[in-house]
């Protein structure tokens, strides 16, 4: 999802490290990035929410005492 948002934000001028140079982005670039993220939510959102739930479950399991 990040790669797709970066490509949308930077268009054909995208550079491999462009995602890490956020201080050089202007308002238009940020708008393109956010618009792409909104479009991609339907594709990536369900899986990301599932992963977040699974991470929460694993974190809770890690706090359980281990019986010897």
The least confident of 7-11, 27-31, 41-45, 56-60 is 7-11
- What is the average per-residue pLDDT within 1-28? 74
1: nearest Cα among 52, 27, 38, 28:
38
Q: Which residues of 4-41 are buried (b: 16+ CB within 10 A; e: fewer)?
A: ebbbbbbeeeeeeebbeeeeebeeebeebbeebbeeee
pLDDT band at 60 (very low <50, low <70, confident <90, very high): very high
Confidence at residue 43, expressed as pLDDT on a 0 to 100 scale: 93
Q: pLDDT by residue (tens digit) across 30-50?
A: 999 999 999 999 999 999 999
Confidence at residue 45, expressed as pLDDT on a 0 to 100 scale: 93
Cα separation values, 6 from 28, 30, 39, 42, Å: 13, 10, 13, 18
Q: Would the pTM count as exceeding 0.75?
A: no
Query: What letter would DSSP give residue 64?
Result: S
């Amino acid at each position: 999802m990040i790669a797709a948002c970066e490509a949308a934000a930077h268009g054909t001028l995208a550079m491999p490290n462009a995602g890490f140079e956020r201080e050089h982005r202007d308002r238009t670039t940020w708008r393109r990035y956010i618009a792409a993220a909104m479009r991609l939510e339907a594709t990536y959102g369900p899986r990301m929410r599932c992963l977040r739930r699974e991470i929460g479950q694993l974190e809770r399991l890690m706090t359980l005492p281990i019986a010897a």
